[in-house]
Amino acid sequence: MPPVFGVLFDGLAYGTLLFLLSVGLSVTLGMMNFVNLAHCSFAMLGGYVTVTLMNRLGWPFFATLPAAFVAAAAASVVLERAFFRRFYNASDLEQCLLTIGIVFVSIAAAAYIYGTDQQPVQLPAFLRGSIAFAGLNFAVYRLFLIGIALIITVVLVATLEMTRFGAQVRAAVNNQRMARGLGIDVDALFAITFALGSGLAGLGGALAIDLVGLDPSFAFTYLIYVLIVVSVGGLGSIGGSLAAAMLLGVSDIAGKYYVPALGSILIYLVMTVLIMLRPAGIFGRR
Amino acid sequence: MTSTTIAEPRDYLQAQMRWRLGEIAFWLATLLPFVLAPDYLLLASQVAIAALFVLSLDLILGFAGIVSLGHAAYFGTGAYTAGLISKLGWGEPLTGLVIAALAAGLFGYVTSFIIARFRHLPLIMITLGIGLLLQESANSASWLTGGFDGLQGIHTWPILGRFRFDLYGYTAYGYALAALFVIFLGARRLIHSPFGLALRGIRDNSQRMRAIGATTHSHIRTIYTIAAMIAGAAGAVLAQSTETVSLEVLGFQRSADVLVMLILGGTGRLYGGLLGAVVYMVARDQFSGLNPQYWYFWIGLLLIAVVVVLPNGLLGGLSLLTRRAKAQS
Amino acid sequence: MSESALAARGVDKRFGSLVVAANVNLALPPGARHALIGPNGAGKTTLINLMTGMLRPDAGQILLGREDVTALAPEQRVRRGLARTYQINSLFPHLTALESVTLAVCERRRVAQTWWRRLITYREEIEEAHQILVALMLGAACHRPARELAYGQQRLLEIALALASRPKVLLLDEPAAGVPREESKELFAAIAGLSRDIAVLFIEHDMELVFRFASRVIVMVGGSILVEGTPAEITSDPQVRAVYLGKAQREYRYG
């Protein structure tokens, strides 16, 4: 098998990680138009929760994953109640600045508590190593990531399409005013969706440690990628986030493999051009 | 209609534009560092450069409502252009400054065609994208920019043949301050021109602007180009006075810093940005001994505090206080 | 037949399956005083948006005088003499009334892009703006920011902004909407005082205004024009009574 398949595989694994990190932001942005640049701080929180539980308290890896989800979701509920609520109707600029401030604070806090080094994490034995197939090595952990993302996507789509909660979410994303007019409690809906989205980000942060590492700058570095996924995929679209995340993941890995001299230029160029051509995102509605 | 009926509205407008005592005091105070704090002249020149950069951002953000997360692109273009010109052998600062500003302005003009067409999240993302693209490109093109190590071999000739750039910073601060003042005069004139009014109209209600026949895209392109030139001038002054240029002049850090300075001081007032630059740069210098993590913690808290408590920045808060004091007296 | 100041020919517009304009034909002669009435959701404001260029029709043409302006952007139509006001005030909140109207005048005279000359040197523009405001009883309030004006004054400022472009056609979208009885006198005077050179089409629910100022009434329902005629003809038309006037009288009693 030519190396391109290996590149594709790595790109897909990376893409699924980006998807987990981005899907929450896409839905909440689509619903409330609240520019939450602190989204990846929740992801980072999830990562550090996993690190703390595993390295300092000896928890097994799998047990830390739900903890990461819950911790991030809980933190988001607190922040949403305390701050974000008051800024749903504020200008883009104010929302940006408020959430950038939170990012800064979170980065500083992480550096203070954990230091600036990469956090090591020991995966359970059966997740390490790789499977050889048709002349290429497929890392087990990456297969695991793809598997988890598939399961989560199925669950998300099923929830959206088949439950009443999901129908309400879709209505609120589509037309907030009309949804309120129909008696849907959009504020409560948003609080729940926000918590779920942040929780997913936290889970993504925990899963990311072995793939891309964890240090205090995570909250910012991956924010850029998440913003790209959300802008290109379209606000409020799970399918869009998935497609954009895969596109970004594969492009990034492929770019760095085939044309390393260009660095991230390819990504930024593709993103900028795509947003210009389709400002509402590939699957966006506005 | 007799002529007296029209004189009155014009007089009122004229009174709005007059130089206030506070303004004159401010500019006189900028001369103080020469006398009172000669050890800090290098810092003062950095403050003046930052102030000039913030001024350019205020024009597009405070007056036209364009939120940019990548304004450092134009600052960096000016810095690298000035550095390269010097490196290639022409170290005369004033002409170098003009050329660098024009180069940044040209880049601004080209990108303004894109900028004018978008609002909200797409616009923010595009400005971010342009900034990131430029930084990455500069990193890759290390044959031109020196890459990670930055430009070497910049040597700035004395200004007007007489004022040499020295280690003490007299010339640096004088140069930066002069550039700031001259450009500020131009910006002040712009604010009080019909164009300044049009920009405020765009910021207040761009849809209504179209309904009164305004070519909003053309206005936005114009102010964006002007702002890019000013940002380029600031970058050029930095390159010439410090004789170094590195990738950080194009970085997101710089774009974010200038945004913080502007918000801190207050948008849409010109002086707000200047005040914000002074406060931010001096504070950063004072805390520079600290771990950088602490710095980000406090800046983060400051940002949150400004948005929650003082949405119009320090200057907005001050003017609110003075208005309340006047109302009570 | 002399040409119309403004005409819509065969205009269609739909959003998905929602038809907001169906084969709309409308002609506004110079100096006209026409009223456009119809129930809420009939597509009246949409028609204004189509005529001003904020929306593109799926089919049909918009003509300003002899010129086909269907492909022109809104600001280009304004430059050719088409102005509008908004049903919900769309002003410049932080600009004073004088600044707002001066801005409109400067835009019309194409001097709004000069950044090197001070605004106060543009005496003629400021004078013209001031005169427009005085004629609309806003002279005393001209230095107050738009957001600090009383609601009725804001509605008048809406009209002032439109008049500043020296339009040949003026589209007024519910000029009296929300104006309390005490403040409507100036508004009525303003509308009465509109020059006979301007063709005026106004959307209104206030039948008093319609009967006072309109020489012709056009009734729009569900995206189509139901019927048009003089106010007397319209009020006695059984179709109109059934569809609209019955409802309007109910609304009128509340207003």
Chain C neighbors (3+ CB pairs < 8 Å): B
For residue C145, the tally of other CB atoms under 10 A from its CB is: 16
| Alpha helices in chain C, H assignment, sequence order | 44-52, 74-79, 97-108, 123-135, 151-163, 184-192, 207-213, 231-236, 238-240, 246-254
CA C55 to chain centre: 16
Q: What is the pLDDT of residue C245?
A: 56
Q: What is the pLDDT of residue C248?
A: 53
Mutate to test the interface with B, among A98, A102, A105, A225 (most CBs of B within 10 A): A105
Report CA-CA distances (Å) from B252 to A44, A74, B61, B70, B313: 20, 30, 17, 7, 22
**B311 Cβ under 8 Å from any chain A Cβ:** yes
pLDDT averaged per 10 residues, chain A (length 286): 81 92 87 86 94 88 91 93 85 86 91 85 81 80 88 88 85 80 83 90 91 87 88 84 90 85 80 82 62
In a domain, B324, yes or no: no
Q: Name residue, tokens 């002086």.
A: B271
Residues 221-250 of A with CB under 8 A from B: 224, 227-228, 231, 235
Q: What is the pLDDT of residue B214?
A: 92
Secondary structure (3-state) at C83: strand
Q: Is A100's CB within 8 Å of B306's CB?
A: no
Longest dimension (CA), chain C: 62
CB C5 within 8 A of CB C29: yes
Torsion angle (degrees, nearest 10) of CA B128, B304, A23, A85: -130
Q: Is C98's CB within 8 Å of B9's CB?
A: yes
Q: What is the pLDDT of residue C189?
A: 85
CB A92 within 8 A of CB B128: no
In a domain, B277, yes or no: no
Q: Name residue, tokens 């990738």.
A: B247
What are residue A130's DSSP bridge partners?
Answer: A139
d(CA B223, CA B271): 18
How many residues does the structure list for chain C?
255
Mean of pLDDT values over B228-241 = 96
Torsion angle (degrees, nearest 10) of CA C26, C30, C36, C42: 30
In a domain, B258, yes or no: no
Q: Which residues of A touch B125 (CB under 8 A)?
A: 227-228, 231, 271-272, 275
Do the strands C216-221 and C33-37 form a parallel or antiparallel pair, or are they unpaired? parallel
Least CB–CB distance from B194: residue in C112, C161, C165: C112
Longest dimension (CA), chain B: 69
CB B31 within 8 A of CB B158: no
DSSP C114-144: --SS-GGG-HHHHHHHHHHHHHTT-STTTTS
* Domain C87-195, CATH class in plain words: alpha beta
d(CA C15, CA A216): 48
Do the strands C169-173 and C82-84 form a parallel or antiparallel pair, or are they unpaired? parallel
CB A268 within 8 A of CB B136: yes
- The tokens describing B251, both together, are 């970085």
In chain B, which residue's Cα lies nearest the Cα of A264?
B136
Q: Is C143's CB within 8 Å of B200's CB?
A: no
Q: Which residues of A touch B308 (CB under 8 A)?
A: 83, 98
**What is the residue extent of each domain of chain A?**
3-277
Q: Is B197's CB within 8 Å of C119's CB?
A: yes
Q: Name residue, tokens 């090197």.
A: C116
Mutate to test the interface with B, among C77, C82, C92, C133 (most CBs of B within 10 A): C92
Provide the CATH topology of domain A3-277.
ABC transporter involved in vitamin B12 uptake, BtuC (1.10.3470)
Q: Is A101's CB within 8 Å of B136's CB?
A: no
- The tokens describing A219, both together, are 């909250």
Q: Which residues contact B119 (CB under 8 A, 6 or more apart)?
A: none
Ranges assigned E (strand) in chain B: none
Amino acid at B287: F
CB B209 within 8 A of CB B202: yes
What is the number of structural domains in chain B?
1
- The tokens describing B84, both together, are 């390269």
Min Cα–Cα distance to chain B from C31, Å? 21
Residues 110-129 of C with CB under 8 A from B: 111-120, 122-123, 125-127
- Identify how many contiguous H helices and E strands chain B contains and give both numbers: 15, 0
Nearest to B72, CA basis, from B258, B265, B267, B273: B258
* pLDDT, tens digit, 9 for 90 and up, residues C79-107: 999 999 999 999 999 999 999 999 999 99
Mean pLDDT of chain B: 89
Nearest to B49, CA basis, from B277, B244, B314, B295: B277
Q: Which residues of chain C have pLDDT under 50?
A: 1, 253-255
Residues 152-211 of B with CB under 8 A from C: 189-190, 192-198, 200-201, 204-205, 207-211
Read off the pTM: 0.87
Long-range pairs for B118-124 at CB < 8 Å and ≥24 separation?
B118/A275, B118/A276, B118/A279, B120/A92, B121/A29, B121/A35, B121/A92, B121/A231, B121/A235, B122/A231, B122/A275, B122/A279, B122/A280, B123/B66, B123/B67, B124/A35, B124/A92, B124/A96, B124/B67, B124/B68, B124/B69
Q: What is the pLDDT of residue A284?
A: 64
Secondary structure (3-state) at C168: coil
**B216 Cβ under 8 Å from any chain C Cβ:** yes
Q: What is the pLDDT of residue B98?
A: 96
Q: Is B201's CB within 8 Å of C100's CB?
A: yes
In a domain, B154, yes or no: yes
| Alpha helices in chain A, H assignment, sequence order | 3-32, 39-51, 61-82, 92-114, 140-162, 164-174, 176-181, 186-212, 218-233, 238-258, 265-277
Q: Kindly state the helix (H) or strand (E) to which residue B67 belongs, with its residue range.
A: none
How many residues does the structure list for chain A?
286
d(CA A10, CA A253): 7
What are residue C216's DSSP bridge partners?
Answer: C34
Q: Which residues of B touch C166 (CB under 8 A)?
A: none
| Domain enclosing residue B113, as ranges | 36-251
Min Cα–Cα distance to chain A from B325, Å? 28
Please provide the distance, in angstroms rounded to a whole number, between the alpha carbons at the two ends of chain C. Answer: 40
* pLDDT, tens digit, 9 for 90 and up, residues B105-141: 999 999 999 999 888 888 888 898 899 889 988 988 8
Q: Which residues contact B182 (CB under 8 A, 6 or more apart)?
A: none
- The tokens describing A202, both together, are 């936290």
Q: Is the pLDDT of residue B2 over 50?
A: no
**What is the residue extent of each domain of chain C?**
87-195, 221-255
Mean of pLDDT values over B252-280 = 91
What are residue B35's DSSP bridge partners?
Answer: none
**How would residue B177 be classed by pLDDT, with cut points 50, 70 and 90?**
very high
Q: Is the pLDDT of residue B180 over 90?
A: yes
- Identify how many contiguous H helices and E strands chain C contains and give both numbers: 10, 10
